[in-house]
Amino acid sequence: MNRPRLALTAASAVLLLAACAPTAPADPGSPEPGADPGATGACPVLEGYELFSSDFITAAPAEGFAYTESTPIEFTLSLGAGYTPSMGLSYVNEAGDAIVMGEQNLLDNGDGSYYNDLGVFDSDAAGRPGFATIRLVADGSFEPPAGQESFDIATLGVYCVSF
């Protein structure tokens, strides 16, 4: 057992309990600076993980979607079927840093929707907020989003998820 981490967790719990005293309602999408973002379930604002959705994504999971084993995550592309988009996953640790977990291909349902149901095997991500970044190789078969015309891989959207 890592005693310093346990002490930090206990201290965080005390701070969270103190923060529960009746006050004016807080914005649930913006944790206090230095606060554990997992406590609110919201994704914090982190450089490089600004949430957005391009016109290429016509359907995406609801904000905070819990990506777990046997619960597929699904996106629909306006481009239709026949592509191989990928999904980069990162979780937010207790310090508020985004930890990259890797990239997974989304599988084609044949109707313009793409999914993955591998779940996440990083126990440090359990119960944490995170990000799903949808990317597609810019192979000349579509015009990438504005500002990404010269990129080899286009980012189609960044979404808030949880694990």
1-38 tens-digit pLDDT: 444 443 433 333 333 333 333 333 333 343 343 344 44
pTM score, two decimals?
Answer: 0.73
SS3 label, residue 151: coil
Q: Is residue 128 part of a domain?
A: yes
- Print the domain residue range for 66: 52-162
Instruction: Give domain status of residue 116, yes or no.
Output: yes
Query: Does 41 reside within a domain?
Result: no
Q: Tell whether 7 is covered by a domain.
A: no
In a domain, 91, yes or no: yes
As a three-state string, the secondary structure of 44-109 is CCCCCCCCEECCCEEECCCCCEECCCCCCEEEEECCCCCCCCEEEEEEECCCCCEEEEEEEECEEC
Q: Is residue 92 part of a domain?
A: yes
Domains contained in the chain, number: 1
The 10s digit of each residue's pLDDT in 136-148 is 999 888 888 888 9
Statement: residue 65 has pLDDT above 80: yes
Q: What is the CATH number of the domain that holds 99?
A: 2.60.40.1220
For residue 131, tell me if it sits in a domain: yes
DSSP 8-state class, residue 135: E
Give a yes or no: residue 9 inside a domain: no
